[in-house]
């Protein structure tokens, strides 16, 4: 279990009309656990739930992550919000929060080859940290940052100073069209790794493009910034835990994971978006409705595993190895 830290809000500032930067530190500025680009922390919310937020570093300084004295976050106010972004946007200097120490499901792999970074909206937070590390390491890269309007792109001044001509902005309003991520991927002539973070539509398009272009598995690496949301037509179903025989009704507007947490269970989990694999469980009976980004097509067809943070059931009842 990750270490729990009690941190104080030392700074809050508006980056865009919807994005706030929040800086957290120990009360007396003591050192914090180190982290690597792509890492996130989990903020405990009132009521016991938590939300994951990527750490952001915009400095050409390795000590900003290896010997940090503060954690910086970029939080977008979501509409509708599940409570996390509203809580984070209400924080003010001097407030205390409980934080689980950094963990990383979206690491920047070491190497010397060129890297392509792609960010959509608030997905810039882990991507900016990668750009900072690559700058420090003098490793070649190109960062593509897309948004609907310039005023919605957070941390622009810092990124321009950090990246220089390695930064390419796409602004939908100015371009008169949305960012063509497939076109960009098709234009890449080498075998450089691509790291992408942003909304679900961007990730879905990138995944489909990687398949169409015949990319090797692992060349496209991604992280979502969208939690599970109800889908039209979703219905309730029953989940039974093999270990105890307990039965739980999963309503259309809640995930299996959320229901189990509400019931006082403590299943392993992290991202709640279906892209880290930590909540994966074996399916004993029933037919899962897969909505994750972890399992292969063959594994989904087999139906023996599922991610309980996002996936549901096609059958009235699931028995899980929990």
The pLDDT tens digits of the residues spanning 105-156 come to 999 999 889 999 999 999 999 999 999 999 999 999 999 999 999 999 999 9
Q: What is the pLDDT of residue 227?
A: 65
Q: Encode pLDDT of 184-241 as tens digits.
A: 999 998 899 999 999 989 999 999 999 999 999 899 999 987 666 677 789 999 999 9
Q: What is the pLDDT of residue 128?
A: 98
Q: Is the dihedral of CA 176, 79, 294, 195 positive or negative?
A: positive
**pLDDT surpasses 60 at 15:** yes
**pLDDT surpasses 60 at 1:** no
Residue where the block lists tokens 């890297």: 115
Tell which wins on pLDDT, 276 or 171.
171
CB burial of 298-315 (b: ≥16 within 10 Å; e: otherwise) equals eebeebebbbbbbbbbee
Return the structure tokens found at 167: 């930064």
Neighbours of 7 (CB within 10 A): 20
Q: What is the pLDDT of residue 231?
A: 77
Judge whether 39 and 108 are in contact, CB under 8 Å.
no
Q: What is the pLDDT of residue 7?
A: 97
Q: How far is CA 243 from CA 199, 268, 318, 322, in A?
A: 36, 15, 13, 6
Q: Where are the domains of the chain?
A: 4-103, 115-224, 237-320
Q: For every residue of 267-291, which 3-state class applies, written as one string?
A: CCCCCCCCCCCCCEEEEEECCEECC
Residue where the block lists tokens 């037919």: 287
| Residue 294 pLDDT class (50, 70, 90 cuts) | confident
Q: What is the pLDDT of residue 91?
A: 96
Average pLDDT value for residue range 275-288? 93
Architecture of domain 115-224: 3-Layer(aba) Sandwich (3.40)
Instruction: Return the closest-CA partner of residue 36 out of 114, 120, 115, 105.
Output: 105
Q: Is residue 80 reached through a cis peptide bond, with omega within 30 degrees of 0 on the bond before it?
A: yes
What is the rounded (10 degree) CA torsion for 135, 162, 215, 221?
A: 90
Query: What is the C-alpha separation between 285 and 287, in angstroms, rounded?
Result: 7
Q: Encode pLDDT of 263-273 as tens digits.
A: 989 888 887 88
User: CATH number of the domain at 4-103, please?
Assistant: 2.40.30.10
Query: What is the C-alpha separation between 158 and 160, in angstroms, rounded?
Result: 6
Q: What is the pLDDT of residue 229?
A: 67
Which residues, 6 or more positions from 9, have their beta carbon under 8 angstroms from its beta carbon? 22, 23, 24, 91, 92, 93, 94, 95, 96, 97
Query: What is the C-alpha separation between 38 and 292, in angstroms, rounded?
Result: 19
Q: What is the pLDDT of residue 228?
A: 65
Judge whether 198 and 118 are in contact, CB under 8 Å.
yes
The pTM of this model reads 0.85
Superfamily of domain 237-320: Beta-grasp domain (3.10.20.30)
**pLDDT surpasses 90 at 81:** no
pLDDT above 70 coverage of the chain, percent = 97
Quote the DSSP letter at residue 246: -
Residue where the block lists tokens 């919000």: 81
Query: Highest mean pLDDT range out of 80-84, 155-159, 220-224?
Result: 155-159
Mean pLDDT of the chain: 93
Q: What is the pLDDT of residue 189?
A: 85
Residue where the block lists tokens 């593509």: 144
Q: How far is CA 19 from CA 46, 112, 172, 178, 187, in A?
A: 21, 33, 18, 21, 32
């Amino acid at each position: 279990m990750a270490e729990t830290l009690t941190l104080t809000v030392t700074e809050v500032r508006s980056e865009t009309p919807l994005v706030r930067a929040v800086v957290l530190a120990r009360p007396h500025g003591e050192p914090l656990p180190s982290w690597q680009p792509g890492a996130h922390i989990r903020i405990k919310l009132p009521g016991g739930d938590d939300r994951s937020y990527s750490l952001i570093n915009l400095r050409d300084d390795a000590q900003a992550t290896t010997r940090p004295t503060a954690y910086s976050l970029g939080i977008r106010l979501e509409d509708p919000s599940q409570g996390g972004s509203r809580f984070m946007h209400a924080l003010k200097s001097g407030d205390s929060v409980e934080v689980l120490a950094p963990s990383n499901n979206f690491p920047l792999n070491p190497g010397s080859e060129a890297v392509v970074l792609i960010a959509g909206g608030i997905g810039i937070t882990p991507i900016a940290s990668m750009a900072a590390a690559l700058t420090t390491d003098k490793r070649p890269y190109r960062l593509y940052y897309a948004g609907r309007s310039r005023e919605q792109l957070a941390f622009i001044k810092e990124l321009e100073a950090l990246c220089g001509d390695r930064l390419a902005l796409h602004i939908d309003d100015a371009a008169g069209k949305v960012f063509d991520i497939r076109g960009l991927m098709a234009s890449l002539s080498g075998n450089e790794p691509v790291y992408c973070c942003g909304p679900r539509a961007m990730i879905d398009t990138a995944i489909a493009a990687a398949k169409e272009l015949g990319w090797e598995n692992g060349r496209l690496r991604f992280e979502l910034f969208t939690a599970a949301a109800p889908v039209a037509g979703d219905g309730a179903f029953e989940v039974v835990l093999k270990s105890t025989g307990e039965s739980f009704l999963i309503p259309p507007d809640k995930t299996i994971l959320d229901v189990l947490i509400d019931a006082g269970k403590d299943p392993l989990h992290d991202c709640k978006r279906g892209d880290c694999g930590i909540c994966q469980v074996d399916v004993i009976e029933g037919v899962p409705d897969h909505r994750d980004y972890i399992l292969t097509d063959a594994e989904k067809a087999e139906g023996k595993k599922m991610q309980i943070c996002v996936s549901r059931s096609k059958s009235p009842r699931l028995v899980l190895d929990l």
